[in-house]
Amino acid sequence: MPERWGWVAFGLVIVTLLSLDLGLVHRRARVFSLREAALWTLVWVSTAALFAIGIFLWHPERVRAGLEFITGYLIEWSLSVDNVFVFAVIFAYFAVPMEYQHRVLFWGILAAVVLRAIFIFGGIQLVELFRPTIYVFGALLLYTAYKLFQQRGEEMDPGKNPIVRLVQKYLPFTPRYHGERFLVREGGQLVGTPLLLVLIVVNLADVMFAADSIPAILAITREPFIVYTSNIFAILGLRALYFLLAGVMRLFAYLQRGLSIVLSFVGVKMLLHEVVKIPIGFSLGFIVLVVGGSILASWLWPPGEEAQKPLPSPNPLPSRNPEEKPSREP
């Protein structure tokens, strides 16, 4: 299919599903049920599969483009599974009520759609203008893989993030939740609610995710249409995936090890791209084997409880007045 029609089809699918999601199904704040999360996960995965079939049928380079889309999608989706734990930590730290978590993820992922476009098209242009950039990306992926492999269930603390501290220092925030609102007026002043701070932290987390996932996909292909669509289809399904997996993330104990192997493979592929040409079919098979194997191993040989990642205790936003006790409004 001509690329412009591919972009049109992609845009129509995304706008339709997001409008249905926010405008009809989740217009009011409520708890996202497990059954509903499973259904929406199936919707997003099935939509991505249908889009891949469309690429196989109508793209000028059908097989190559289709395999590249699937590989890019699986890389981003696999990293998203691991990132579910990060979102769970953020929500637990700020004591976000369950009925408002979907709203935060919805607007956070909409922001991610824009940020990913900037990173992806900027990264592609950078590689095209300065070819050695591909080696920098490869080295970055190897470093990320090493850090990921070395993690031993450390508890992250969003409150120690310097950007979060900076935001809290210079922007007025109320310590109380005001329903699903991000901004409220107190004493004639427009102030942010803790939900706004959580949204900021979620977007900061996505920026960090992009630093891993986008170079990894650029190792597979540098065609903007394939890179962007595969990336966005994966992250748009992240909200439903979070509600589906957040409660059972401890069952994926070895997923980080598997992802570190995948990132190492992709990093080596980037560093050796001038010497060794690895077929896209081999890359796809390797990624499926490693990620699937790590998940299967987590189920068959689960580690002891002491090796599991803990979630932090809820920690609502501190009050600006030391004598004022934080509270939440439902």
Tokens of 105: 């993820």
Instruction: Classify residue 130 as exposed, middle or buried by CB count within 10 Å of its CB (0-12, 13-18, 19+).
Output: exposed
Average pLDDT, whole number, for the chain? 80
DSSP 44-78: HHHHHHHHHHHHHHHSTTHHHHHHHHHHHHHHHHH
Task: Identify which of 98, 47, 92 has the alpha carbon closest to the alpha carbon of residue 236.
Answer: 47
238-271 pLDDT, tens per residue?
888 888 886 666 667 788 888 889 889 988 988 8
For residue 37, the one-letter residue type is A
124-139 pLDDT, tens per residue?
888 888 888 888 888 8
pLDDT at 326 exceeding the cut of 50: no
| Rounded-to-integer distance, Cα 24 and Cα 18, Å | 10
What's the distance, Cα to Cα, between the start and end of the chain in Å?
50
pTM of structure: 0.80
Tokens of 64: 């190559």
pLDDT at 316 exceeding the cut of 80: no
pLDDT at 123: 86
pLDDT at 55: 92
Percent of the chain with pLDDT over 90: 12
pLDDT at 12 exceeding the cut of 70: yes
152-209 pLDDT, tens per residue?
555 556 666 677 777 777 778 888 888 888 888 887 788 888 888 889 888 888 887 7
pLDDT at 25: 60
pLDDT at 313: 47
pLDDT at 319: 43
| Helix or strand (DSSP H, E) at 296 | helix 280-300
| Rounded-to-integer distance, Cα 134 and Cα 114, Å | 23
Q: Can you tell me the mean pLDDT for 44-48?
A: 92
pLDDT at 305 exceeding the cut of 60: no
**Higher local confidence (pLDDT), 140 or 329:** 140
pLDDT-derived band at 151, boundaries 50, 70, 90: low
pLDDT at 181: 86
pLDDT at 328: 41
pLDDT at 81: 76
| Rounded-to-integer distance, Cα 228 and Cα 217, Å | 9
Question: Considering only 43-52, 67-76, 103-112, which range has the smallest mean pLDDT?
Answer: 103-112
Measured CA distances, 127 to 114, 219, 226, 327 (Å): 20, 11, 16, 50
Task: State the DSSP code for 305.
Answer: G
